[in-house]
Each structure stands twice: as structure tokens, then as C-alpha cells.
Structure 1
Amino acid sequence: MARAVTPRRKAFNTLAAWIVGVLVFFPILWIVILSFKTEGDAIKTPLAVLSAPWTMESYAVVQERSDYFRHFWNSVVISLGSTVIGLVIAVPSAWAMAFVPGRRTKDVLMWMLSTKMLPPVGVLLPIYLICQSLGLLDTKIALVVILMLINLPIMIWMLYTYFKEIPRDILEAARMDGASLKEEVLYVLLPMAVPGIASTLLLNIILAWNESFWTLNLTAAKAAPLTAFIASYSSPEGLFYAKLSAASTMAIAPILIMGWFSQKQLVRGLTFGAVK
């Protein structure tokens, strides 16, 4: 029998949630505020910053100096491309591990997860040389493949967890009704795992969108995404806080909007199978 939650306990939990939410969101809010200030106002004390006049000057300078929409398009292609290709590989892999398990399935899963523990700088040189020899430096193709391989273990782990929650009897019933392997996966398994697939898709788009190590080291101008767009405003001459904040706001705005509208689907997918 579930224990009743008292009004005092509920009020405390609500207050604690609001405090945590404000602490997490405040840095983003402060970046947005600084983006509407001049460089001189951006380095003042917090109270002086809030009372300073608002201006779109930094956004105008950023757009004039850098082609935002080209970087934005590169980010869209890289994040969506790596995620979609990863799903094509991860879905059959997770299906095989969930419904045709072998004695080494857990070992394979742990080995895949262990690849995420390797510092990226440890494999930077060989990957850089491979891209250079194939003529793929500063190309979206290289970043799509690399980010797909980097996030593939997470995608397979998440999908494996969701697929394990689907009753095996349903798939066996589909086979008894004459469904082929392709029909079983496309028309039975995937529709039942839509929340899990959607959350995997959204999470990996966010991971690819925010990836900076590989994008900064393997691109120069043509394939540079928004992470390189932000880094271009950190120079040896110093930090231009207002312009850097404007560039950061322009870079995170699309992914924040996507997360806001898809938060229910994301939460539903992440808690898929948690409650029986």
C-alpha cells in the first residue's frame, strides 16, 4: 500500500524542485541576458548588467562576422545524419541481443559501453590521419560517421533496454501467424517501441549537436557546425562576453526549442518500462 504524501511534504518537494531547476537554468538565462548587452555593459557587476539598456548590437555583429545559417545547417546535417544512420544499425543489433541472446551478450554490451570510457584525445591522431588520407578532413561525411560510431553504444544500450521490456510472447504470436522476420520487426516490434526509439533519437541528436571535441579538431570552415561557431568568439585577444553570449544563444536556441516541445516524449521514453 502506497504511503500518502502530506501537503507539507508535497510543498517541500515542489520548492526543492524549483530551486534545483533555477540553479540549473540560471547560467543559460544569464547568457541570454548578456547577449542583449554591449561589451562594456557585459563586464559590469550583475546589478549594473540588469539595469543597462538592452540592444541587439551583438547579434548584428555576430551575423555580420559569421554565417550563422551555414553553421546551423552543418549542425542539422551532422546531428540528424549520425543519429539516423546509428538507428539503422542499432535497431537490428539491439533486437538480436534482446530476443536472440547468446552467452556473451552481456560481455558484448559491457565491451561496447567500455569504449565510451576512452578519452577521445587518445584516438584523435589515428582518426585525424585516416580522415586526412581519405580526403575527409573538414567534411560533414567524416563527422557523421565518427559521431555515429561514438554514440552507437549508447543507442544500442537504450534500445536493448526498451526491447527487453516487450513481451516475447507477442513476437512469437506474430511468427505463428506467418509474419516474416522483416514484418515482425517493422510491424510488431517498432510500433511497440516508439517511445523508446523516440527518446533514443532525441537524446542522440542532443549529444551530436553539442559535440565539440571532434568538430573543433576535424573541421576548419566548410563543415564547421555551431560548436565551432561559438569557439570562434574565444580569441587570444580576450573574451568578448556579449558577442560570445549572442553566439551561444543562437547555437543553443534550436536544441532548446526542440527539447521543450518534445519533453513529454523524451520523459516517456526514458521511463519506458520503469513502471510495470
Structure 2
Amino acid sequence: MTQTLSAPTGTAVPPPARPRRVRRGRGGAVLGVVAWIVGIAFFFPVAWMVFTSLHSEQAAATNPPDLTAPLTTDGYREFFATNPWPYLINSATASVVSTALVVVLALFAGYALAIRPVRKWSDVLFFFLTTKMLPAVAGLLPVYLIAQHIGLLDNIWLMVILYTAMNLPIAVWMMHSFLAEVPVAILEAAALDGARLPTVMRRVILPIASPGIAATALICFIFAWNEMLFARVLTGVVAGTAPVFLTSFVTTQGLFLAKVCAAATAISIPVLVAGFAAQNKLVQGLSLGAVK
């Protein structure tokens, strides 16, 4: 039998202890300040590049820089006067086509590894990871010799193949983590309704995993657009990309800083536009699987 003990008459019963409130004011402020410092540190080089591109060569070459110098768009006029459009079109072709191929291949690979796992699927993921452990420069000479032998030097479709192969491992890893978050109950319900794989992919998996697909596509597009090592060696006049064209501004006459910054800013615009357009999907996709 349980007995209830009561306090003696006349003795004040202390009130129940309240849970302590976690004081997050000071800690949150410190984290906020640190986040702002890190954000400014990452954004400062980009802002400085844009600021320098709006100056003349004389003002850009001064040390320390003259912040009061008049602004001008001469660097951008000289950049577009050199006809960069073939290089920009080549970069857009290689980046868009390779990204589309990577997303399609990674989507089916992620489905096989996450939703309908094959045998030893962890070994398969590890194999994809090991392909990124080889330095890119180590495979440059064999790729060059193969491309020369089959006649694909200075060919944009060679860059499409290379960018697809280079971005596929990381895309498979990302798609695996995204598709692993798809509820199994929805897939089982679709299977009971008689839905086949194409219908399940189109009506169930794609709507749920669309943020992850957008994040994967954006990251692969950025990697393909910014790649310069293979493009510098394997392309020339016909299939040169935007980063290759950017190196042409470094001449024996010297470094024209304002013109280089203007060219770098103009070449970065497509990536910035794509990033801002898919910003919401990118945040949702990168946060999938973060909380278990």
C-alpha cells in the first residue's frame, strides 16, 4: 500500500521547481556575429572582383587601390568586343548536356542503391567514391592520348563525356541520400495500385525528390562550368570553353586587372543566375537527410 506523506501543519510547502530556461541570447548573438564574419569573408573576393571590374586599368593597378576612382564599364566593353560568345556557347553546351546526363544516370543509380538496393550496395557506393580519389592531373595524359587516337581533340562532345564521368560519382552519392528519404509506404501503396517503375518514377519519386534533384543538377552544372584543367589541354579554337577564354587575358604584355575582373564577372553570371533561380530547391535538397 502506498502512503502519501504530507508536510506538517504550519510548514510551508516549497513550490515545484521550474525547469531552467536555456539562456541562448548571448550564445545566439555570438553565433550570429561569427556567421556574418564568415559570410563576408567568402563574399569579399567576389565583391572586390566586381568593384575592380568597374575601374580603369590605371585605377585598378594602384596599390593600395583607389576607392574614390571614377567608375567605368570599359572593361566590359573590351571583353564583349573580343567575341566571347563561341566560348560561352561551348561552356553552356558542355555544362547543360553533361548535367542532364548525370542527373538521369544518378537518378536510376540512386533508385537501385537506396530504394531497391542491389547486393553489396555499400561496396558500389565506395567504388564510386574511389574514382574521386585519383587527382585529375594524373589522368590527364591518358585521356589526351585516347582523345588523340580516336580523333576527339578540340571536340565539345569529348568535354560532355568527361564532365559526365567526373560529376557522376558525387551525383550518385547525393541522389542515394535524397532517395533514401522517400517514404517506403508510398512506394508500397503505388505497387499495390499496379503502378510500374516509369509511373512510380514520374508520379511518386520525382515530386518528392525534386529538391534533391535540383541541388544535384546545380552542383554538377557549377563543377562543369568552372572546370578548366581538361578544357585547357583538350580543347583549342573550336571547343574552347569560357574558363579557357578567360586565360587569354593573361598575356606577355602584363596582367590587365580590370579587364580580367570584368571577364571573370561576366563569365560568373550564368552560375549566379542558376544559383539564385534554384535557391529554395537547393536549400531544401541539401537539408534532406540532415535530421534523423
TM over 0.5: yes
Q: Deviations for 1:10-47, whole angstroms, at most 9, x for unmatched residues?
A: 32222211111111111111111111112221111245
Shift of 1:273: 2.8
| Partner of residue 12, structure 2 | none
| Partner of residue 45, structure 1 | 63
Query: Unaligned 5+ residue runs, structure 2?
Result: 1-18
- Does structure 1 conserve the Cα–Cα contact (< 8 Å) formed by 2:214 and 2:278? no
Larger Rg: 2
Secondary structure, in 3 states, of the residue corresponding to 1:132? helix
Tell me the distance in 1 between the aligned counterparts of 2:20 and 2:94. 47
State the TM-score, normalized to the length of structure 1: 0.93
Report the residue type matching 1:205 in the other structure: F
Query: Which of the numbers 227, 232, 236 marks the counterpart of 1:211?
Result: 227
- Does structure 2 conserve the Cα–Cα contact (< 8 Å) formed by 1:229 and 1:247? no
Report the residue type matching 1:59 in the other structure: Y
Report the residue type matching 2:161 in the other structure: V
Shift of 1:68: 2.0
Report the residue type matching 2:52 in the other structure: L
Tell me the distance in 2 between the aligned counterparts of 1:183 and 1:227. 41
| Partner of residue 28, structure 1 | 46
Shift of 1:4: 4.6
Tell me the distance in 1 between the aligned counterparts of 2:237 and 2:113. 41
Query: Which of the numbers 137, 140, 151 marks the counterpart of 2:156?
Result: 140
Report the residue type matching 1:32 in the other structure: V
Q: How many residues align?
A: 274
1:9 aligns with 2:12: no
Shift of 1:152: 0.2
Range with greater deviation from structure 2 (39-48 or 223-232)? 39-48
Q: Deviations for 1:68-124, whole angstroms, at most 9, x for unmatched residues?
A: 222222111111100001112111111111123234211111111111111111111
Range with greater deviation from structure 2 (89-98 or 66-75)? 66-75
| Partner of residue 222, structure 1 | 238
State the TM-score, normalized to the length of structure 2: 0.88
Report the residue type matching 2:169 in the other structure: P
Which protein has the bigger helix share?
1
Tell me the distance in 2 between the aligned counterparts of 1:97 and 1:217. 35
| Partner of residue 275, structure 1 | 291
Tell me the distance in 1 between the aligned counterparts of 2:233 and 2:65. 38
Report the residue type matching 2:106 in the other structure: A
Query: Which of the numbers 266, 277, 292 marks the counterpart of 1:261?
Result: 277
Tell me the distance in 1 between the aligned counterparts of 2:52 and 2:208. 45
Listed as ranges, the matches of 1:60-79 within 5 Å are 60-64=77-81, 66-79=82-95
Report the residue type matching 2:58 in the other structure: G
| Partner of residue 85, structure 1 | 101
Secondary structure, in 3 states, of the residue corresponding to 1:116? coil
Tell me the distance in 2 between the aligned counterparts of 1:247 and 1:3. 54
Aligned CA distance change for structure 1 residues 33 and 140 (closer, same or farther; 3 Å):
same
Query: Unaligned 5+ residue runs, structure 1?
Result: none
Aligned CA distance change for structure 1 residues 166 and 4 (closer, same or farther; 3 Å):
farther
Tell me the distance in 2 between the aligned counterparts of 1:98 and 1:204. 21
- Does structure 2 conserve the Cα–Cα contact (< 8 Å) formed by 1:233 and 1:239? yes
- Does structure 1 conserve the Cα–Cα contact (< 8 Å) formed by 2:56 and 2:258? yes
The ranges of structure 1 where at least 4 consecutive aligned residues each deviate by more than 3 angstroms after the TM superposition are 1-5
Shift of 1:243: 1.0
Shift of 1:128: 1.2
